[in-house]
Amino acid sequence: MTKAKRNRLIYNIVTYALVIAAFILLQSMIANKSISRSLKGQLVPICSWIVMAVSLNLVIGISGELSLGHAGFMSIGAYTGAVVSGWLLNSFAVESTLLRLVLAILAGGIMAGVMGALIGIPVLRLRGDYLAIVTLAFGEIIRSLVNVLYIGVQDGHLCFSFLNRNMPEGVTMLVDGAKGAVKIKPISTFAVGFVLILITLTVVLNLVNSRAGRAIKATRDNRIAAESMGVPVTKYKMMAFVTAAALAGMAGALYGLNSSTVVPTQFTFNQSINVLVFVVLGGLGNVLGSVISATLLTVLPEVLRAFSDYRMLVYAVVLILVMIFTNNPLIRSFADRLIAPLKQLLRGKKQGGDEA
Amino acid sequence: MKKLFAMMLVVCMLLAGVSALADEPITIRVAHIGPTTGAAALYGLATLHGAEIAAAEINAGDGPYHIELINQDDEHNVEKVINAYNAALDAGAQMILGTTTSKPCEAAGAQGYIDRVFFLTPSASSTAVIEDKDNVFQICFTDPNQGLASAQYIAEHNLGTKVAVIYNNADVYSTGIRDTFVAEAAQRGLEIVSETTFTDETTDFTVQVADAQNNGAEIVFLPMYYTPASLILKTAADKDYQPIFFGVDGMDGILGLEGFDTSLAEGVMLLTPFVATSTDEHVVSFVNQYQAAYGEIPIQFAADAYDGIYILAAAAEKAGITAEMEPEEVCDLMIAAMQEITVDGITGSMTWDASGAVTKSPMAATIVNGEYVFED
C-alpha cells in the first residue's frame, strides 16, 4: 500500500466513522430523551445542509468551477419532493411515509440532475467564469418561476397552471404561487437524512478516488494539459456538476418534506452563498471539512441565541476568527506540533502493521 | 382541649396558607416569536414591544395572573422559526404569542399542532395560518376578509367603478388580499381596469401608476405594506394623477415613515382596526407608554400584540391555567377558553370561533391633514 493510498484510506475511514458515531450518539440521546427540543428539531436540516455542502464541494473543490446557484437545485428538489409526496398520498393513497419520502427524494434528485445537465451542456463547454454567472442567474430564475407556479391535485391528476391560479373547483393545492408549497405532511426523518449523508459520502468519495475523479482534478489543475492528454474536459466537468446538482435536489427534498411549507424566498442567492461559506470554511476539496463546517455553522446561530440580537455579530466574528486561525502559519505550526506525536504514534503503528 | 386548640391552629394555618396562595398571582410563561432581526424586523420588534408593554401593565396590576415573556427571534424564516419555537419550549414556554409573520406562523403552527402547543398570532393574516389546525388563533383579520371588506366598502360607498389594483405578486399578504378583492369586485359591479404587479425588489413604480392612469382608474387599490405604497403615492403625485387611493391595514404606519412627505397621503383611505391618534382612553395610554419606552408611534402590529397579551391573560384565567402545567395540557384548555371569551382591546371588541379566526369590525379611515379621520 502506497503512502498516498493509505492516507486516503485513513481519511475516508475517519469521515465515515465520524458521521456514524455522531448518528449513534444522537440516536441514543433521542432514545433516552436527553436531547433538547432545539437540537432535535435541527437534525434533519443539518443532514440537508451537509449534503448540500459536500455536493457543492464536488463542483468547487474537486472540479474547480464556481457555482453560485446551488440553492436553486435545492429548491427544485424541495418543490418536486413536496409535489411527489402530496401526489402519492392524494392519488395513490401511499400511506407508508418511508416509501413516499424515498420516492420524493429520488424524484427531487432526478429533477435537479436533469436541470443541472441542461445548464451544464452549454456552459461547461466555455472557459472562464461563465458557470458562476449562469448558475447565479439560474438560481434567481428558478425562484421567480416557482413564484408564479401553481400545481394542484384532483382525482389522481396533477393540474398545472402558470402565472394565473386557474384551477378547477375542489382541487387540492400542492404549490400555490407566492405561498409556496403548502400543506406538506412533514415526513422527513433523521434516519433517512443519515442514510442520505452516507450515500452522498460514498458517491463523492468514490468519484474523487476513481479514474474519473483523477480526470476531473486534472481538468481543474490544468485544463490545457488535461486536454492534451486526451481527457474530454466537458464530459468530466459535466459528471461532477450533474452529480452535485442531483445530490442537492435530494437534499432539497429531504429539507422540504421536513416542514409543513416551503417558500421561494428560502432559496435566494444568500442561501447559495451560505452553502459556499460552509465549503470554503471546511476547506476546498475537503469532504470531511464540509461535513463538520456545515454542522457547526448550522448549529452555531442556535447556540448563540443566548446573545439575542448580538448573535449575528458573534457569528460573523467566529467566521473571521476561524478563517484567520486556519490560515495563520504560526498557529498552524503550533497545531501541527500538538498533533505531531499523535501522528507519529499512528504512523509507527501502521508501518509496523504493514511490515508485519 | 389542648388537642382541639392544636387542631384549630392547624386549620387556621392551612386557611392562611390557602388565602396566601390565592393572593399570590400565578405566573404564566408566554413566548413571543417574531423577526426581531432581518428584513421584517420592523414588524417583529413592534409586536415584541407591544407585548412587553402589556406584560408590564399586567404584572404591575393586581390581577390573578402575571406574565413572564420569553422572546425568540425567527428572522422571518421558515427554517429558523422551528428553531425559535423549540428554543422557546426548551426555555419553559407554556404558550406562544406569535408568530408575527404569516409564512413562519404557518410552519410553526403546524409543528405546534403535532406537539399540541397553543398559538395566538397577533399579525399573521393568511388563511393557511389557521387552516386545518385547532391550536392557532388570530387577532388580525385574515387577508381574504380584508379584500372582501375593501371591495364591499368601495361598492357600498359609491367611491367609483373603475378600479386599478397594484400588488406584490411575491408576497403572500398582498396576493391573498388581491385574490378575494378581485373576485368580490366582479360580484359588486366594480370594473378592474388595470392590474399590475411588483416584487420586493421593485423601487420604480412608473409603469404601474401609468397603466392605472392611462386606463382611467378612479380608485387605486393598494393591498401592500406602506413602504411600496409611499413610493406609489410619490410617483402618482409626480404624474399629477389624483385618484382615490385605498389601502388595507399594511398601509398603517405610512404617516410615521421617515422622509415621507405626509401631504402625499392626503385623501388616502385605509381599512384598519387600530388608529394611534384615537382619543380612546385605553389607546392614548398605550400610545403614550409606547412612545415613552421606544420613542416612536406604535403601528398596528404593536397594538395587536398588546391586545394579544391581554387575550392570553383572559383566556388563561377562564381556563384556569397554572404555572406547573405543561404546554400540551395548556393547549386544550386554552382552545376551549378562547371560544368563550370576549375581549375589548385597543383593536376592537373581539370574539373567536373554533376555526381560530377573529370576529371584529373593520374601520375605514381617511387621512386628512396628516391624521386619520374615521368614516362611519
Would you give per-residue pLDDT tens digits along chain B (376 residues)?
556 555 555 555 554 444 444 567 899 999 999 999 887 888 899 999 999 999 999 999 888 899 999 999 998 899 999 999 999 999 999 999 989 998 999 999 999 999 999 999 999 988 889 988 999 999 988 888 888 888 988 888 888 889 999 999 888 889 889 988 999 999 998 999 999 999 888 889 999 999 999 999 999 999 998 889 999 999 999 999 999 999 988 887 788 777 888 888 888 888 888 878 778 889 999 999 999 999 988 888 999 999 999 999 999 999 999 999 999 999 999 999 999 999 999 988 899 999 999 888 777 888 888 878 776 5
* Residue that terminates a domain, selected from B272, B297, B319: B272
Q: Which of residues 179-198 of B touch A (CB under 8 A)?
A: 179
Pick the CATH number of A3-355 from 1.10.3470, 2.60.420, 3.40.50, 3.30.70: 1.10.3470
Q: Which three cell numbers stand for residue A245?
A: 446538482
Does B285 lie in the same domain as B255? Answer: no
Q: Which residues of A touch B171 (CB under 8 A)?
A: 178
Task: Give the bridge partners for B367, in sequence order.
Answer: B372
- How close A251 comes to chain B (CA, Å)? 14
Among B295, B270, B252, B282, smallest CA distance to B349 is for B282
- How close A188 comes to chain B (CA, Å)? 13
Distant-in-sequence, close-in-space partners of B215: CB < 8 Å, separation ≥ 6: B162, B164, B193, B194
In the sheet with B136-138, reading across from the earlier edge strand, the strands are: B65-73, B26-34, B95-98, B119-121, B136-138
Interface of A with B (CB under 8 A): 36-38, 40-42, 45, 147-148, 165, 177-180, 182-183, 186, 259-266, 302, 305, 308-309, 312
For residue A50, the SS3 value is helix
Q: Which three cell numbers stand for residue A93?
A: 393513497
Mean of pLDDT values over A64-74: 93
In the sheet with B343-345, reading across from the earlier edge strand, the strands are: B343-345, B348-352, B358-359
Interface predicted TM-score (ipTM): 0.87
Residue pair B303/B54 in contact by the 8 Å Cβ criterion = no
User: Where do runs of H (alpha helix) occur along chain A?
Assistant: 3-31, 37-57, 70-91, 97-123, 130-147, 190-208, 211-221, 223-228, 233-256, 269-282, 287-303, 311-327, 329-355
Are residues A41 and B103, on separate chains, in Cβ contact within 8 Å?
no
pLDDT at A342: 66
* Residue that terminates a domain, selected from B272, B296, B330: B272
For residue B215, the SS3 value is coil
**CATH number (domain holding residue B256):** 3.40.50.2300
Residue pair B141/B132 in contact by the 8 Å Cβ criterion = no
In the sheet with B363-368, reading across from the earlier edge strand, the strands are: B191-198, B162-168, B219-222, B244-247, B269-272, B363-368, B371-374
Question: pLDDT class for A355, splitting at 50, 70, 90?
Answer: very low
Give the range of the structural domain holding residue B290, as residue numbers without chain letter: 22-141+281-359
Among B330, B285, B292, B365, smallest CA distance to B61 is for B285
**What is the b/e burial string over B134-150, where b = at least 16 CB atoms within 10 angstroms of the residue's CB?**
ebbbbbbbbbbbbbbbb
Does B266 lie in the same domain as B306? Answer: no
* Residue that terminates a domain, selected from B212, B247, B272: B272
Does B171 lie in the same domain as B136? Answer: no
Count of the separate structural domains present in chain B: 2
Residue B89 lies in a domain: yes
Does B27 lie in the same domain as B133? Answer: yes
The number of angstroms, rounded, from the C-alpha of B200 to the middle of its chain's C-alpha atoms is: 21
Are residues A38 and B36, on separate chains, in Cβ contact within 8 Å?
no
